[in-house]
């Protein structure tokens, strides 16, 4: 799973041509820590066809602001650099897997 630390990281990911799932989180956020193992597992499983990256809102607040993140965990699905869908709160592995498949098929 990739970690976005600056604008260059974000740009490289969005220009990759692959669909992207951004996970906005914070180390102090309990629900974020609950979701993290699921997101990491999916990142490993879909490494070839999907980019899953995490963004620490405390270390890169500019990107969180750009995406209008108001509560975390916040998940954004992107295609061609454009937000297709966003989810807030802890999500099940099945729900995320279904979304990843949905965006992988149309990529």
Catalytic residue among 13, 20, 32, 52: 32
Q: What is the mean pLDDT of residues 76-103?
A: 94
In this prediction, residue 2 has a pLDDT band, given cuts at 50, 70 and 90, of very high
Tell me which residue range forms the domain holding 78.
2-106
pLDDT for residue 106 is more than 70: no
3-state secondary structure at position 34: helix
* 29 has catalytic annotation: yes
Q: Average pLDDT, whole number, for the chain? A: 93
Q: How many domains does the chain have?
A: 1
Residue 15 pairs in a beta bridge with none
Is residue 93 annotated as a catalytic residue, yes or no? no
Which of 3, 7, 1 lies closest to 65, judged by CA?
Answer: 7
CATH code of the domain in which 90 resides: 3.40.30.10
Identified catalytic residue from 20, 29, 53, 57: 29
Category of 63 on φ-ψ map: left (φ > 0), alpha (ψ -120 to 50) or beta: alpha
pLDDT of residue 54 exceeding 60: yes
């Amino acid at each position: 799973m990739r970690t976005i630390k600056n604008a260059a990281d974000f740009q490289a990911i969005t220009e990759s041509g692959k669909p992207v799932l951004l996970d906005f989180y914070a180390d102090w956020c309990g629900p974020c820590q609950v979701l993290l193992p699921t997101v990491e597992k999916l990142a490993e499983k879909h490494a070839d066809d999907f980019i899953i990256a995490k963004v620490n809102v405390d270390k890169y607040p500019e990107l969180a602001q750009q995406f209008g993140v108001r509560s975390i965990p916040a998940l954004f699905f992107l295609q061609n650099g454009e937000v297709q869908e966003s989810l807030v709160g802890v999500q099940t592995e099945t729900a995320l897997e279904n979304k990843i498949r949905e965006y992988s098929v149309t990529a």
